Structure 1
């Protein structure tokens, strides 16, 4: 787990991070609303992102983590 102590980011840097997070959530919401396969596409995209960040992660763990993220973020 990353360091939980607040980082010494300046206000403009914090605004950029917030903007990126909001843009990511907006794009995830659009994907969910895109049709019957939107949720599956979102989970698989997030799972692939996890696997890119953690090269040894198996697909089953990445999908589980992605489903947990989607449950928490979009329910």
Structure 2
């Protein structure tokens, strides 16, 4: 149980560093980079860059606890 509390505290500290607007900006930049690369390089596909963009998109919807 103590490990779960420590993990929860670590996640809250991580999320309190960044705002939802920062995650939105990271999502937009990652998506734009992926779009640019896919149209300038023939046969370009990046599962990892798309996954990273999806991660940033999902982080915008998490509850950000800034206190305690």
Normalising TM by the smaller chain, what interval?
A: 0.3 to 0.5
Greater RCO, CA 8 A, separation 6+: 2
When the two structures are superposed, what TM-score results if normalisation uses the length of structure 2?
Answer: 0.43
Structure with bigger gyration radius: 2
When the two structures are superposed, what TM-score results if normalisation uses the length of structure 1?
Answer: 0.41
